[in-house]
């Protein structure tokens, strides 16, 4: 049943009789407050259905996308003493410009003619190697000649052996003939003596027969001696043949020993030549390290060694250099629970230190002083409990401020799904994570994101 409206004092019949009724009025402030409260309630209720962009907030600093664009130190490759500086801090230098000059401090490099003398040593070794090579070739020719002489001498000695064998055969035949002649002469002498005793032969005939027998005996003895001489000559020929092998084997062994000694010296010389060439190349390269040059175009940030005459060690830093025109990137760190929500190519809004901004994280279109970015790199391992991401400029958006420097602070928030405000409040109150958005293609991606999407097979897309 609806409540009856409270009557005002003017409508009561007794209002004219009492002055108190004239002083009683319904307060207008309460009505106004109620109306404002109702309006605000309706506004808040309606605002609960406004779209809100979920985001992941993180902080970090500016760095560069490419490692070669990050600040670097220029060391001294060799130990030395600073002779002079060629630059000053804040100066723009080109690649290859001389930053400083150093001089030697090691006594083995003090000689100003060290390179020339090392070249002379190398040339002397090369000449010695050339002569030794000729000696090796000569020894090889000598061995060839010895082998040819050995073959000829062996052939000659074998011929002698064969000749001695033939001579023995001939002498043996002569011996057989002489023995037969001796036997015949002996029998004839015996018959002649018998006939002489019978008176049938004269003494003169007997003496002639005895003379012939003596001649046959002498001839037999001569043939026997000749055969002995032939056999001795054959033995000498065999000994000579054997001695030739031994003699020439000794000569060949000596020549081979000399050749191997020459070859050993040649290999040793080649090793020394290679060592000298290496030393000469090292000295030539070392001479180029006396001038510390800029590895790339950039600005001299700070000289880490002061004055002239100061000593520097090998590998000690001399100058800090900041490359010119680096490709800037925001280095942000994200909690592990939020990293599955990010993809390469997802949009990010950035606020840089030193640039005033009015930020509405849930309404990036209404924010002022923020700049667009896109996720370019997501680390695969954590860094101190958080994951590092690199954000570069988003194509088609406002350019990042030109005065930005590497190391400046940056605050960023990655844009996720659009949800009602009431849902976001409810999620925050309950501590729920943002909605998981698997389709990163709905956001404008950078070059890396587009290439990754093109390279990814269609069956792997979420």
DSSP 107-126: GGG--TTHHHHHHHHHHHHH
**Is the model more confident about 348 or about 15?**
348
Q: Write down the pLDDT at residue 358.
A: 63
pLDDT at 43 over 60: yes
Segment 157-166 shows an average pLDDT of 82
User: Which residues 6+ apart lie within 8 Å of 385 measured at CB?
Assistant: 336
Could you tell me which of 258, 250, 238, 243 has the C-alpha nearest to residue 146?
250
Summarised one tens digit per residue, pLDDT across range 167-184 is 888 878 888 888 888 888
Contact partners, residue 56, CB within 8 Å, separation at least 6: 334, 335, 338, 341, 342, 413, 414, 416, 434
State the residue for tokens 């960023």.
Answer: 412
Cα–Cα dist 108/299, whole Å: 36
Element (H, E) at 85: strand 80-85
Distances (CA, A) of 320 to 2, 70, 82, 293: 84, 11, 16, 12
Q: What are 275's two structure tokens?
A: 């060592």
Q: What is the reported pLDDT for 292?
A: 92
Tokens of 2: 């609806």
| CA 30 – CA 27 distance, rounded (Å) | 6
Assign residue 92 a region (left: φ > 0; alpha: ψ between -120 and 50; beta: otherwise): beta
The domains located in the chain, with CATH, are: 6-47 (no CATH), 50-68+326-460 (2.40.30.170), 71-104+290-323 (2.40.50.100), 114-288 (1.10.287)
Determine the angle formed by the axes of helices 203-288 and 114-197, rounding to 10 degrees.
Answer: 170
Percent of the chain beyond pLDDT 90? 18
């Amino acid at each position: 049943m609806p409540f009856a409206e409270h009557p005002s004092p003017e409508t009561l019949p007794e209002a004219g009789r009492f002055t108190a009724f004239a002083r009683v009025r319904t307060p207008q402030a309460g009505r106004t407050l109620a109306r404002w409260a109702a309006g605000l309630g309706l506004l808040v209720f309606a605002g609960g259905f406004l779209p809100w962009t979920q985001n992941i907030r993180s902080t970090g600093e500016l760095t560069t996308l490419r490692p070669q664009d990050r600040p670097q130190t220029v060391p001294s490759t060799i130990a030395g003493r600073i002779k002079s500086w060629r630059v000053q801090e804040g100066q723009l230098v080109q690649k290859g410009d001389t930053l400083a000059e150093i001089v030697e401090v090691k006594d083995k490099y003090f000689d100003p003619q060290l390179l020339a003398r090392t070249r002379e040593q190398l040339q002397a070794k090369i000449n010695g190697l050339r002569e030794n090579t000729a000696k090796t070739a000569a020894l090889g020719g000598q061995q060839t000649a010895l082998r040819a002489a050995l073959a000829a001498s062996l052939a000659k000695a074998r011929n002698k052996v064969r000749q001695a064998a033939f001579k023995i055969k001939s002498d043996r035949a002569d011996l057989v003939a002489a023995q037969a002649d001796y036997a015949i002469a002996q029998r004839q002498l015996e018959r002649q003596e018998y006939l002489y005793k019978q008176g049938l032969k004269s003494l003169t005939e007997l003496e002639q027969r005895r003379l012939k027998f003596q001649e046959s005996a002498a001839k037999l003895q001569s043939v026997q001696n000749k055969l002995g001489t032939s056999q001795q000559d054959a033995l000498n020929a065999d000994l000579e043949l054997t001695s030739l092998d031994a003699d020439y084997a000794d000569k060949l062994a000596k020549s081979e020993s000399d050749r191997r000694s020459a070859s050993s010296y040649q290999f040793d010389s080649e090793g020394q030549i290679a060592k000298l060439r290496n030393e000469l190349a090292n000295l030539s390269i070392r001479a180029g390290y006396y001038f510390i040059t800029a590895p790339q175009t950039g600005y001299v940030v700070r000289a880490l060694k002061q004055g002239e005459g100061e000593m520097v060690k090998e590998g000690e830093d001399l100058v800090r250099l900041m490359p010119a025109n680096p490709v800037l990137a925001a280095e942000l760190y994200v909690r592990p629970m939020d990293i599955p929500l990010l993809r390469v190519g997802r949009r990010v809004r950035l606020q840089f230190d030193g640039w005033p901004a009015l930020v509405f994280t849930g309404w990036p279109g209404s924010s002022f002083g923020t700049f667009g970015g896109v996720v370019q790199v997501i680390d695969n391992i954590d860094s101190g409990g958080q994951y590092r991401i690199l954000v570069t400029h988003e194509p088609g958006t406002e350019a990042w401020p030109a005065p930005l420097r590497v190391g400046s602070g940056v605050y960023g928030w990655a844009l996720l799904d659009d949800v009602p405000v009431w849902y976001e409040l409810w999620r925050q109150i309950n501590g729920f994570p943002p909605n998981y958005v698997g389709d990163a293609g709905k956001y404008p991606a950078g070059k890396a994101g587009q290439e990754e999407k093109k390279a990814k097979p269609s069956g792997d897309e979420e």
